[in-house]
A and B are shown apart, each in its own frame.
Chain A
Amino acid sequence: MAVSANLLAAPVAAPLLIAALILLLARWGGRRLIRHQIALTALALCFNFAVALLIFQATAGQGERLVLQMGAWSAPYGITVYGDGLSATLLLLTALVALAVYPFAVATIDYHRARMGFHPLYLFLLMGVNGAFLSGDLFNLYVFFEVLLMASFVLLTIGAQPAQTNSGIRYVVLNLLASTVFLVAAGIAYGTLGTLNMAQIAERLPLASPAVRTLFAGLLLVGFGSKAAIFPLFFWLPASYHTPPPAVTALFGGLLTKVGVYTLFRSFTLFFPELLISWQPTLLTIAGATMLVGALGALAQPGIRRVLSFHIISHVGFMLMGLAVALSGNKLAIGFGLGAAVLYLCHHMIIKTALIMAGGAVELHMGSDRLASIGGLVTRHPFLAFLFFMAAISLAGVPPFSGFVSKLSLLQITLDTRHWLVSGVSIFASLLTMLNMMRLWRESFWGDYKRPSRVPTRILQSSLRQRLMLTPIAVLVLLSLGLGILGGPAFRLSMRVAQQALDRQAYIDAVSPAATFSTKPPSHFVPTTATVPTFLTENAADLARSPFVPSP
């Protein structure tokens, strides 16, 4: 079935339109009106999921590339919206996470926060994340980063507890710094290459001087890397994720860092694939340090959500490791590393959301998430204990679940490319993850029943709320199990996604930016330089075999 490229506008326009309708129709206040907001938001989430499925089927399933030139203005002048397998995978997972967290949010968000506009903000965040995945030029990427930053900032601080405000300030300051670095990179791109369209940047970047390329790549690595919470730039994440309501943490943990990871994947595969080889030691060092610091940091944390938020950092390291070996010469396949990283991303988004929701359920039952003061919940809530355990071992990488397949494939590629040290670090980090997960489970479910809070919670009394909280966790755990059992087909699909993302010439052709009308090229343009990127000559033996590298 052919899918119109106009479908790409829907994941951005639909949440925005529904959020606007909520703002238009709902005067704040009145529990009945909150119910209307919930119905509208659920409608938008379901629609978004359906659209994401259609886009995924067309791009990742059939290998199409959807390009929407807004208002039919051609590429460098108009706004390009681009969807390929990588974007569509993330769109689908985002829609899934948003849809799964929403019942949990409805069950646990208090009336005060709902009245202050929780539901439209949820949709604004979804719109920002979707837009970042679909954006075809750097400036719109920046705009959507800001949209999701603002929406997440308000979601983080809504309710105005002192701890929330404190963490919100740190979150917004560090993220704005990262955005500024990214904006400087975009400015450099515009100043030297004369364009912000990503296809055109990819086309012209090999002609730019090496200094410009290095600076551009470095700034993008810093900007996107701090959004993704890689090693020296992750401080905003553990500072902020434990303060908002658990539903908000689950949403953030599922979505926010993944935008950074996606942009890293996209920029390294599209703009400077040659740096995946020349910068490989740096990237692998960062990846190893991120894994190790995340896992070790989690070991020292006293509360469930703090442990889980450090594990997000650790897992971003795994994805970065997959990206770093994406183009290495190996006997498996070119792009194997990126395929493994994409599979890991799917696994991570599904199971991390489930685990944070399960941890949030524990916290809401106990009134606290400090491991030292809670315990024994298994006697009261055996099903929650079961789900938490399953999600925890999936995160750690135990066989029938998706964690095993994704970690195994990543390990396979790093061992195959003889990066012994980083492979060892990743195994060590996985063992630490296992240790941490068992610690979480033992402290919160095993032992004598201890409940520090005397305040009875609404959640404990309503069976509907219980079901709304537990069903999405169960669905996500089942999905993780399915992804693990169907590991082969899932991996083939993610390999296809990775190879599509690595085929940069096809990206440029699909967007087909019109030739610039400027007759005078910028002074540093050296027409005699060969247009073949240097990485083609370095690993020519490996790359010559691959079907997706353009023949020089």
Chain B
Amino acid sequence: MPELYLRLLNRILTPVLLLLAIYLLLRGHNLPGGGFIAGLMAAAAFQLQILSRGHDRVRSAIGPYLNSGIGLGLAVAICAGVVGLFEGTFFKGLWFKLNLPLLGYLELGTPVIFDLGVFLVVVSVATSFLLGLSRVSESAVIIGEGSVSPDLTDDPAFDPMETAGETSREVES
């Protein structure tokens, strides 16, 4: 079980990080921010989840959607470029202005959609890296102690011959 402070921090910080990510995403066109940084911020929120709840729970919750997230993000980004063809050039920015009751004056356009695509790609890629790294670090510890991690062998993509050989070599050196 993780430390108490991690569980507390997790409850407080995760919503803050996610809200900050959305804020950075939306202000990013003319001010510092944008899809890439917002994606890293959201991935940091997921990393906090991994630390406080354990990587297997996080993986079972969001793992299946990561590849789809990369695909969706790329598709959204490309489509934002294709929309520009209506104005004559690929990736031409189209802007439309909104006056919403609560949020006030908003200027939305295809660059925001492109940023949204970037955000999705970065969040998915970074989170899948973090999940992969947490699995490797855990398996290295367990194999060093002389047993095999149960969740590794359950994974269909896991080939026990290869990874076990590699990690034990790493542990020895």
Contact = CB atoms under 8 A, between A and B. Distances in A.
B159 to A, nearest CB: 8
Contacts of B159: 160
B82 interface: yes
A17 interface: yes
B81 interface: yes
A456 interface: no
Given A24-B68, A27-B64, A6 B74 contact: no
Interface in B59-76: 64, 67-68, 70-75
Interface in B86-143: 87-93
Nearest to B67: A23
Contact of B72 (A16, A20, A70, A72): A20
B92 A72 contact: yes
Chain B, interface size: which category?
Answer: 20 to 34
A23 B88 CA distance: 29
A6 B89 contact: yes
Interface in A500-531: none
A29 B67 CA distance: 12
Nearest to A10: B90
A23 B71 CA distance: 5
B127 to A, nearest CB: 15
Interface string A18-38: 011111110111000000000
In this complex, the member of A13, A68, A71 whose beta carbon has the largest number of chain B beta carbons within 10 angstroms is: A71
A70 B91 CA distance: 6
Secondary structure class of chain A's binding surface, majority of residues: helix
A17 B90 CA distance: 14
A27 B90 contact: no
A69 interface: yes
B74 A17 contact: yes
Interface in B142-170: 156-157, 159, 162
B40 interface: no
A22 B84 contact: no
Given A17-B78, A68-B90, A22 B85 contact: no
A28 B67 CA distance: 9
B46 to A, nearest CB: 19
Contacts of B156: 29
In this complex, the member of B87, B89, B156, B159 whose beta carbon has the largest number of chain A beta carbons within 10 angstroms is: B89
23 contacts: A6-B89, A9-B90, A13-B90, A16-B74, A16-B78, A19-B74, A20-B71, A21-B71, A21-B75, A23-B67, A24-B71, A24-B75, A25-B71, A27-B64, A28-B67, A28-B157, A29-B156, A68-B90, A70-B89, A71-B84, A116-B157, A160-B159, A160-B162
